[in-house]
Amino acid sequence: MPELDAAATAASHRLDELLARVAAGDRQAFESVYQLASGRLFAICLHVLRDRGDAEEVLQDVFTTVWNKAAQFDRAKAAAMTWLSMLARNRSIDRLRAAPPRVLDDLSVAEEIPDLAPQPAFAAEQASDHERLQACLETLEPRRRSLIRLAFLDGASYEELARRIGSPLGSVKSWIRRGLGQLRVCLER
């Protein structure tokens, strides 16, 4: 959707400008960067670390790095969110590597550790569900499909989406609600 692409580009440029202001020591810009990016960065940390406490600590470390090294951001090399996401991912991986390996004194204890990997049947069912969801998403009008993806897969709030596309909040909520209804009907077939 052209208006969503334009809104995403505008948001990206805004983040670029905010990082430049953070590099100059602007605390208000730093707060705005946090407001715009912390949710997505926390999701990255949590995905890598699988522990909420560790993810929160790494996110704090990421924003300390942003404050101290914002001048190193080069918009010619990457978008601001890409740079921030890379910081979050790399810090999370560093945290995993720094954790001491778990040593088992008695190997018989290993038999008691549950295998948390999905069973093949579950993985196949999950893949099938994913394919059905993608097929149903494709049946939606492009605006609704795009809004649902941004809201539920990228974590954008309704208010943020309304600002991005320049539409009233009520309209955005209505489009998403109708799209979700269409998805439900499609998935129940």
Domain boundaries, the chain: 1-98, 140-188
Options 1.10.1740.10, 1.10.10.10, 3.40.50.150, 3.30.2010.30; CATH of 1-98: 1.10.1740.10
Report the amino acid identity of residue 45. Answer: C
Judged on CB neighbours under 10 Å (0-12, 13-18, 19+), 180 is: middle
Q: Kindly state the average pLDDT of the residues 135-151.
A: 88
Residue 41 Cα distances to 27, 31, 142, 165, angstroms: 19, 14, 27, 23
pLDDT reported for residue 18: 93
pLDDT reported for residue 57: 95
pLDDT reported for residue 13: 82
On the question of pLDDT at 72 being above 90, the answer is yes
Options 1.10.10.10, 3.40.640.10, 1.10.287.1770, 2.30.42.10; CATH of 140-188: 1.10.10.10
On the question of pLDDT at 58 being above 80, the answer is yes
On the question of pLDDT at 48 being above 60, the answer is yes
